[in-house]
Amino acid sequence: DSGVTQTPKHLITATGQRVTLRCSPRSGDLSVYWYQQSLDQGLQFLIQYYNGEERAKGNILERFSAQQFPDLHSELNLSSLELGDSALYFCASSGRGSSYEQYFGPGTRLTVT
């Protein structure tokens, strides 16, 4: 168990809908990262937050947004969903002085029908 939790585990929704994925980092970790894993794109970095502030952005679509709250949990919001958004979404966290180690949650499997 990495100490990173994600909910829900599975999500099935229709095209055009909006969903929210939730992540709680390991206790004490200030950084949260979101990654997307799909068959055609592999593992892709989406976005990073550090102590409530956006730190880095990757290949994140404009339809997607994220935030990190004062209690350090994070949410990834996906809107106007398309079939191609079906993927596994992982959250990871890291702490200060961690030599850039990131610890991953179990993921949320999103299926868009």
Provide the residue count of the chain: 113
Taking the C-alpha atoms of residue 105 and residue 89, their distance in angstroms, rounded to an integer, is: 9
Name the burial class of residue 30, with classes exposed (0-12), middle (13-18) and buried (19+) by CB atoms within 10 angstroms of its CB: middle
> Which CB sits closer to other proteins, 74 or 102?
102
Q: How far is the CB of 15 from other proteins (least distance, A)?
A: 26
Give the distance from CA 54 to its chain's centroid.
Answer: 13
**What is the binding site for other proteins (CB under 8 A)?**
2, 4, 31, 33, 35, 42-43, 45, 48, 55-56, 58, 90, 92, 94, 99-107
Q: How far is the CB of 9 from other proteins (least distance, A)?
A: 10
> Which CB sits closer to other proteins, 35 or 64?
35
